[in-house]
Structure 1
Amino acid sequence: MALAIGSPSPRPRARPRLWMVFASVGLAGFVLTLGGLSFVRVYDNQLIRQTETELLTQGAVVAEVYRSMLAEQVGTLDYGKPRTAKWPFPIPSDDQLRPVLPSLRASDEPLPPDDRPPLSRVPGEPLAQDVGQRLRPLLENVRAATLAGIRVVDVRGVVVSSSSAELIGATLGDRLEVQEALHGVPTSVLRRRHAEPEDTPLASLSRDTGIRVFVALPVLHGERVWGAVVLARTPMTFAKATYADRWNLTATGLVLLGAVALMSLAAAALLGRPVRALVRQTRAIAASAPEGFEPVARPVVAELAELSESLAGMATALRDRNQYIRSFAANVSHEFKTPLASIQGAVELLRDSAEVMTPEQRARFLSNIDADAKRLTRLVQRLMELARADSMTARPAQVELAPLLTALSTRAAAEGLARVDVGPVPEGLTVSLPAEVMDDVLWQLVTNARQHGGEDVQVSLSVETNTEGSVRVVVRDTGRGISEANRALIFDAFFTTARERGGTGLGLTISQSMLRAFGAGLELLPARPAESGAAFAVAAPLVRR
């Protein structure tokens, strides 16, 4: 069965809306982009944390070695200074544990660079300087393996041992991380680093980034600070880390590329195939092919399903309209042809034989011409009324039924058409129809009853309401009724059983068109076995007060 324009599918299926498809694709792209940016940021953080962790590990070992060597020299002396700061990291229940955790992030503000040359050399504390001298070979070996710069300072911040000999005797006490460490707080900071000419390509060990990681660990003996170990190293850059891990990252990129390709294929399946099916449907409609009148199968997206159903409904409506126009044109041609042929024949007879005709014969032919001309005039008027009814635009209007039905009964009595009895009508009952439309339709039914039922016909008007929000005005007459053969044709244009009495067969068609424009309708009611006559019902929306 063909679908009406805009009608829903007989079996509605849950389909994603078009905005959902676009939102899903956009969200997926957003997530991939955000994931990529987050990956870069997290990777930067990880590289810095990794460097900091390595420095903390090396520094803890160096600090313990230095403390042990210095303890042999100090003996029972009250060496160093008291620790004045609280330990910054959570301490477990075991008092012997003192964890040092990485804390740096890529978003931390880096401090100024440490490339200022030492202003002067000062001697360190003698015991510390002696231990530092013995510790230097160890620090140089560690630096050769780890590439980290290591310095050991005494309680005043003077370098007493270093992996680079030129820094011995330099004072680092003015640096933030060293000051914190000499108060007993492990401290990690980022410092800016200037690019150097010897910075090398991706495959090299040199790490030509713009920052350096500095870690300062206090050398603690109980609750006293005996100095600090300061370590520095440039973290791996993202570019070099990416180059080093290029094969794994390439595999990950291929997976992401495959995911994007699958998303593109999914979008093409969701949208491309139904759109191509819609294009084929429109071409089938243009060619009047049968498949153009059926909705697209499996359109996937709700909007495309609605569009396909609307196209099928539009095509069906246009086909029905075209058939109606063709049938209507054929009927109009037939209705006009008969009186025109009669007029033409009468005119030819009068032209050829007017001199030999008696006055009575000429008057009869002229009367026939006049009657056929008047019939043509009525047909033209009714066709104009039908055209206005078909193009009528609904406008908000309402009419109270009781006064309208009473006025209709009075008018019928005044014109001597038929006796019209009006049944009880609830006070204030109002329908959503213009008064002139309801009056024209009811008057058409009354005149039809008089035309087909004779002078003694009686017409009754009654009102019925229902729970569906509509009202039916029933027009019932006592005439001969409508035969079973004619009941199926009663609303067809130009069908009439009173052609000899001037009927055009357009009255009920016009009434139907006018009512349809306002969401109302006209129907022929079943005949009652014990009663004669015909009954029609005008159904109109009820206006609730």
Structure 2
Amino acid sequence: MTKPRIRTVLLLVNLVLLALPLGGLWMLRLYESALVRQTETELVAQAAVIGAAYRVAWLEEAGAEAPSLLASLPVRPQPEGWAPRYATLDLARDPMLPPPPDAATPPDPASAVARAAGAALTPVLAEAQRVTLAAMRVTDEAGVVVASTGGEGGLSLLALEEVAAALSGEAAARVRARREVADVASSGSISRAAAFRVFVALPVRAGDHVIGAVLLSRTPSSIRQALYGKRWELAALALGLLAVAAALAGFTAFTVSRPIRAVADQARAVASGARVEPRRLRRSAVREADELAAAIASIAQTLERRADYIGEFATAVSHEFKTPLAALRGALELLQDHGATMSAAERAAFLDQAMADVTRLDRLTRRLLELARAEAPRAHAPERADVATVAVEAAATYGDLVSLSGAQGVTAAIAPDALRSILGMLFENVRQHAGPGARCTVAWSVADGVARVAVRDDGHGISAANAARIFDRFFTTARGAGGTGLGLAIARSLAEAVGGRLSLAPAERGTAFLLTLPAAG
């Protein structure tokens, strides 16, 4: 399973934190639409009751003339069976219309039947308004107000599209801006809290004819009122949001900060020189923290290996230097104490011994410098060496000791000087260890992107006990002949520095080394 990166975790956390207030705003807008639909539903229920009361009063007032009066009205077929009217307003979809136009003087007054039915209904509207706080109007079939809570009796509302739709047989609901937008309402106010009103108009039917319309309007409850009414619940929600934020912070600390802090503690221990035991840190949820922990563990192990290497190296160097230094010191002390009484031959012998020791120390020093350069990691530009050319140059100083064979054009990705040093150390190894009269052959080839150089001799070979140690620093069986035990170690380090390898190869007679190097393009 691929773990997310730190930036992904932080991005997700920030998106969640951003979504909290944005989601709250969206919920408030959604709740405001719910308040509008709730008001619309209440007005529809009230209008249905008022319309039913007006129809009963109109039919009673019309009496026997009802059939002829209805016959003079347009036919507006009504749906069969139940005809529920659901809330449809949505603040996100429906436009906010301007305030309703003022009532106008009608060309003809309302009929006597409509006026009588409206008069009987007016006290009912006035009493109901005290509870519902809605503005109520009832019009006749021509849109003339016959009952109202606002003193608009005898005026026409036909210019209002909601009334026109109701008189055509269709229910209508609209959201319109209030005229009194400057009024400031308290948290307990119902009718003065919002800057718009909900208008609902229902037709009043008698069979397939529309005998009037009921128009109701009211300001819905505002978000402020709703929030005030739910203040304790909102306080609990705020505490919940704080808990979510704290949980997100804890999640971030658990997945990012804590693992990085543990890695930092381990890095400080490494920097202070303490030996850090390799242990598995608690794995985190992000990739970078695991990569950093692995890198620190690798650094700690590398430093520990370097420290062990330096300790072993210092021990070996001190041992290698101790013998020639002790011999040199002894020779110089003897010359200092007894030089005057010695013969010329004795003084020459001691001086020759001192010079030999100095020469050995000089050789050791140079070899150590070569080893340090070979093992020191360093960046370098890609280099290439023609194996045939370098092999000829390296073998030039060894005369008949070396014979060469190999294809032309084999190029290895190594500096010519480095390849020359490797081959020279292998040739020197043959001269010092293969025995008198031994010869070596060098053959090279390239395949699969790898250049191979095989160096074989026909000498005494290497015993099984010594074969496992020939690449160890300071291991030599030719110390008396000037061997330092560093040549093969240097050669292997030079090969490994470019991604190659120097190894001991099986041989029926003598000794064989195989040098593999990356081939140059």
Indicate whether the TM-score tops 0.5.
yes
1: CA distance, partners of 2:288 / 2:184: 63
1: CA distance, partners of 2:98 / 2:295: 70
TM-score if structure 1 supplies the norm length? Answer: 0.82
User: What's the secondary structure of 1:303's corresponding residue?
Assistant: helix
Alpha carbons 2:133, 2:191 under 8 Å: kept: no
TM-score if structure 2 supplies the norm length? Answer: 0.85
Show the counterpart of 1:153.
139
For structure 2, which runs of at least 5 residues remain unmatched after alignment?
A: none
1:213 Cα deviation (Å)? 0.9
Corresponding letter in the other structure for 1:357: M
Mapping of residues 204-283 of structure 1, within 5 Å: 204-221=189-206, 224-283=209-268
Match of 2:278 among 293, 313, 317: 293
1:320 Cα deviation (Å)? 1.4
Alpha carbons 2:190, 2:221 under 8 Å: kept: no
Show the counterpart of 2:25.
37
1:50 Cα deviation (Å)? 1.0
1:176 Cα deviation (Å)? 3.5
Show the counterpart of 1:539.
516
Q: What is the total number of aligned residue pairs between the two structures? A: 512
1:421 Cα deviation (Å)? 4.3
Show the counterpart of 1:517.
497
Show the counterpart of 2:484.
504
For structure 1, which runs of at least 5 residues remain unmatched after alignment?
A: 1-12
1:44 Cα deviation (Å)? 0.9
Does the C-alpha gap of structure 1 residues 430 and 185 become closer, same or farther in structure 2, counting only changes over 3 Å?
Answer: farther
Deviations 1:407-448 (A, max 9, x none): 5257526632613343x55x7554433343333212221221
Alpha carbons 1:192, 1:210 under 8 Å: kept: yes
User: What's the secondary structure of 2:366's corresponding residue?
Assistant: helix
Match of 2:401 among 415, 418, 427: 418
User: What's the secondary structure of 1:76's corresponding residue?
Assistant: helix
Question: Within the alignment, does 1:141 sit opposite 2:127 as a pair?
Answer: yes
Alpha carbons 2:385, 2:413 under 8 Å: kept: yes
1:296 Cα deviation (Å)? 1.1
Report the more deviating stretch, 483-492 or 306-315: 483-492
Show the counterpart of 1:5.
none
Show the counterpart of 2:156.
171
Deviations 1:320-364 (A, max 9, x none): 112222332333334344434444443444444444433333333
Mapping of residues 428-439 of structure 1, within 5 Å: 429-439=410-420
Alpha carbons 2:194, 2:221 under 8 Å: kept: yes
Does the C-alpha gap of structure 1 residues 396 and 95 become closer, same or farther in structure 2, counting only changes over 3 Å?
Answer: farther
Question: Within the alignment, does 1:59 sit opposite 2:47 as a pair?
Answer: yes
Show the counterpart of 1:48.
36
Does the C-alpha gap of structure 1 residues 392 and 503 become closer, same or farther in structure 2, counting only changes over 3 Å?
Answer: farther
User: What's the secondary structure of 2:68's corresponding residue?
Assistant: coil
1: CA distance, partners of 2:346 / 2:120: 153
Does the C-alpha gap of structure 1 residues 492 and 158 become closer, same or farther in structure 2, counting only changes over 3 Å?
Answer: same
User: What's the secondary structure of 2:379's corresponding residue?
Assistant: coil
Does the C-alpha gap of structure 1 residues 392 and 381 become closer, same or farther in structure 2, counting only changes over 3 Å?
Answer: farther
Show the counterpart of 1:75.
67
Does the C-alpha gap of structure 1 residues 184 and 109 become closer, same or farther in structure 2, counting only changes over 3 Å?
Answer: same
Does the C-alpha gap of structure 1 residues 510 and 196 become closer, same or farther in structure 2, counting only changes over 3 Å?
Answer: same
Corresponding letter in the other structure for 2:54: Y
2: CA distance, partners of 1:16 / 1:290: 32
Corresponding letter in the other structure for 1:412: A
Percent of aligned positions with the same letter in both sequences?
A: 39
Deviations 1:499-530 (A, max 9, x none): 222222222222222222222222223x54xx
1:290 Cα deviation (Å)? 5.2
1:283 Cα deviation (Å)? 4.1
Does the C-alpha gap of structure 1 residues 224 and 118 become closer, same or farther in structure 2, counting only changes over 3 Å?
Answer: closer
Corresponding letter in the other structure for 2:318: S
Show the counterpart of 2:434.
453
Corresponding letter in the other structure for 1:419: V
Alpha carbons 1:270, 1:301 under 8 Å: kept: yes
Does the C-alpha gap of structure 1 residues 436 and 410 become closer, same or farther in structure 2, counting only changes over 3 Å?
Answer: closer
1:237 Cα deviation (Å)? 1.0
Show the counterpart of 2:464.
484
1:317 Cα deviation (Å)? 0.8
2: CA distance, partners of 1:274 / 1:524: 45
Show the counterpart of 2:118.
132
Show the counterpart of 1:10.
none
Mapping of residues 354-365 of structure 1, within 5 Å: 354-365=339-350
Corresponding letter in the other structure for 1:265: G
Does the C-alpha gap of structure 1 residues 176 and 399 become closer, same or farther in structure 2, counting only changes over 3 Å?
Answer: farther
Alpha carbons 1:417, 1:450 under 8 Å: kept: no
